[in-house]
Structure 1
């Protein structure tokens, strides 16, 4: 089923990419648990390996179950193609891999998941890449940070942990002016709440682990390509515009046009980096996407209710939820996230670090885990866990100060969630 005009999101999240199994008629996408695929003949094998024909060779590269998920994600995000991989962190490296080379840099928001900050500030140095972190509310600072060696701008649509909404239109304009791609991590929003490509993003990455699967059973990632960036407009992206030695001088952008990045991600990224998504994880994620809109509506409804209650609690110093009228990001909802501000936010406690630790230990319904986007409500003290590697100044800049807890609101009864928070806050403030 293709992204035919007229089909709504609720239909596409169930049907996009999926077809009855040709061999058995099975309606649900089967788990193709196989390593390799039999070629029709020697010419067929040669054509596949030479990128002259699309098909299945080896499951590190392509798999029928994963292929359905890739088509569904591209459709839901409004992209030309997608490449699935083993985790959200793998997706970030997969997105950067065709763009970067030693000595080059990216410009990224300070408001990012702590693991992403560590990946960009420490790990990518081993590739000879570097990252400049900037407050993306300061547009002049973003422009100033971009130099001749910058190859991408990176941000989150709804930032983890604070739930801040990025002005994607403004950031995309800056990236366009510099002739470099904007990469948006859309994990905290999902394509139901935000479609970054419609706001100018070139690439969209997700941790499939979160809202898209929705039940905390798998890890996975995806890179969705808009298909709209002209990789040949400058000489900045030779991996996509120049001859590729491994394929006898083939030029990906010249040959594959809007699908250049997607083909490169499979033919070179998965081939050489090996960050493969297994078919069972793809199957679980496909099942999760079928109820995405229903779950996200409940997530958002619950988050509004719980955040409003927390904002008025005497032990609470501040709540960062953009869905609250008091939030400085509230006016961006209608434009960037028209279906709601998500279900992720932070709560600052007046009694500081120790009160946060007591709160986490006292909650009963909320699960204390290093995850978000589950059907269950989750909590974590970021400064002592996910953002622990950062300095206090970096923690504050990322929205994870020592007196802050991150809350991911699930789809339970909101009255039960409030009662649980109430008793835990009483113990934390005692």
Structure 2
């Protein structure tokens, strides 16, 4: 399918063709571990990266391939790699870029699991993060050192919903010859395409809005094809000969899809966080309705935010869709169709009120996820951000009074009624 086609058309058709054997119109679930080679020479060419093709489902699978092509088309990238989860996507990207002792700079306003992964788990690889303020691009510049290999941000920050000035931070990355990695989970390409604003790599938790139904785990890496991996010696996995592939240089051989290839044949191959064909199928099905769902999510979320800001028990509402929100100008620039479905608000009663509120909801589901068709709620300080110290919680926008909503696509009057009855109990 052509990238010039409309978003809605690409969401349904990109990467997919009727099955050549059976004529099946829906992409089949290729539930197999491995694939038969034509002959010895064919097998050798596949293993040596002289030909593209299927070897083993840990590395690639035809159902997965359709998902990858579709997401790449929606994001405007050159190639993509689907993996088991959003965390797996982040792991494989940094595995391709980092060596022991290296650093990267990340926004401090991130999903709590990413803060934990970057600040703790990555230390086992001797990879180190420096934190910066997404509202202050200069703070990223100050944090860059000799061993810095990348900058990482979220397009719309989780949990607070702040819309980040991608172009300003991209300019910092470009001045220092660093790739900019953007987690676009909260926005999806329907609302924002980071590649159009200077991103070099885009990652998603497909588990969230892309799949959209809370039934399948998955992640994806999108190679935007914009970074010159051979411009310096910083990225040897892409710019130096690979011993395991008879001296092949990935960037020299694969050009603007080299990062996606590296994540597949060096990361996914050996670290192994493969996506199942069934999950790839479920996520593909969800993506077909992405534009319809995201617009309804945004419309409902704006109505809910407008209602909450006038409620006597609510101290504040942080939603970029509100005209007086400090992130509203960035929303109009980067996400003009809407500010997404996830935002936070503060209860005047603090921590205890937050706990009582989430326990009093009936329509909302209290769980650690976002991006479902159903409305979801969580009190981050007692759950997703509990592992952080209090000052880290506040810095991440998840202080003790904060409640995070992921507004679903139900009737908005029913959503507001449920919020009101729960607020009455606090």
Q: TM-score, normalized by length of structure 1?
A: 0.98
Aligned partner of 1:97 in structure 2 is: 95
Deviation track 1:44-70 (CA, whole Å, cap 9, x = no partner) reads 000000000000000000100000000
Aligned partner of 1:373 in structure 2 is: 371
Q: Give the Cα separation in 2 of the matches to 1:213 and 1:263.
A: 24
1:112 pairs with one of 103, 110, 113: 110
1:411 pairs with one of 406, 409, 412: 409
SS in 2 for 1:97: helix
TM alignment of 1:260-409, pairs within 5 A: 260-409=258-407
Q: Give the Cα separation in 2 of the matches to 1:271 and 1:138.
A: 38
Shift of 1:339: 1.5
Q: Give the Cα separation in 2 of the matches to 1:173 and 1:140.
A: 10
Q: Give the Cα separation in 2 of the matches to 1:396 and 1:266.
A: 37
Number of positions where the alignment pairs a residue of Structure 1 with one of Structure 2 = 426
Unpaired segments of 5 or more residues in structure 2? none
Q: Give the Cα separation in 2 of the matches to 1:13 and 1:342.
A: 18
Shift of 1:271: 0.6
Deviation track 1:149-192 (CA, whole Å, cap 9, x = no partner) reads 10010010000000000000000000011101000000001110
Q: Give the Cα separation in 2 of the matches to 1:374 and 1:95.
A: 26
Unpaired segments of 5 or more residues in structure 1? none
Shift of 1:2: 3.8
Shift of 1:310: 0.2
Aligned partner of 2:26 in structure 1 is: 28
Q: Give the Cα separation in 2 of the matches to 1:365 and 1:132.
A: 40
Shift of 1:343: 0.7
Aligned partner of 1:213 in structure 2 is: 211
Q: Give the Cα separation in 2 of the matches to 1:140 and 1:264.
A: 31
Aligned partner of 1:169 in structure 2 is: 167
Q: Give the Cα separation in 2 of the matches to 1:329 and 1:191.
A: 19
Deviation track 1:367-395 (CA, whole Å, cap 9, x = no partner) reads 00100000000000000100001011110
SS in 1 for 2:96: coil
SS in 1 for 2:182: strand
Contact preservation (8 Å) 1:91, 1:206: yes
Q: Give the Cα separation in 1 of the matches to 2:66 and 2:52.
A: 14
Q: Give the Cα separation in 2 of the matches to 1:244 and 1:339.
A: 44
Q: Give the Cα separation in 1 of the matches to 2:79 and 2:225.
A: 7
Aligned partner of 1:51 in structure 2 is: 49
Aligned partner of 1:247 in structure 2 is: 245
Q: Give the Cα separation in 2 of the matches to 1:329 and 1:97.
A: 33
Moved more, 137-146 or 26-35: 137-146
Shift of 1:131: 0.2
Q: Give the Cα separation in 2 of the matches to 1:333 and 1:403.
A: 25
Q: TM-score, normalized by length of structure 2?
A: 0.99
Deviation track 1:191-220 (CA, whole Å, cap 9, x = no partner) reads 100100000001000000000111000110
Aligned partner of 2:227 in structure 1 is: 229
Aligned partner of 1:122 in structure 2 is: 120
Aligned partner of 2:37 in structure 1 is: 39
SS in 1 for 2:99: coil
Q: Give the Cα separation in 1 of the matches to 2:317 and 2:297.
A: 17
SS in 2 for 1:375: coil
Q: Give the Cα separation in 2 of the matches to 1:298 and 1:405.
A: 21
SS in 2 for 1:151: strand
Shift of 1:275: 0.6
SS in 2 for 1:272: helix
Contact preservation (8 Å) 1:2, 1:17: no
Shift of 1:279: 0.4
Q: Give the Cα separation in 2 of the matches to 1:139 and 1:73.
A: 28
Residues 1:2 and 1:59: Cα distance change in structure 2 (over 3 Å)? farther
SS in 2 for 1:98: helix
Deviation track 1:235-283 (CA, whole Å, cap 9, x = no partner) reads 1101000111110110000000011111111111111110100000000
RMSD between superposed Cα atoms in Å:
0.6
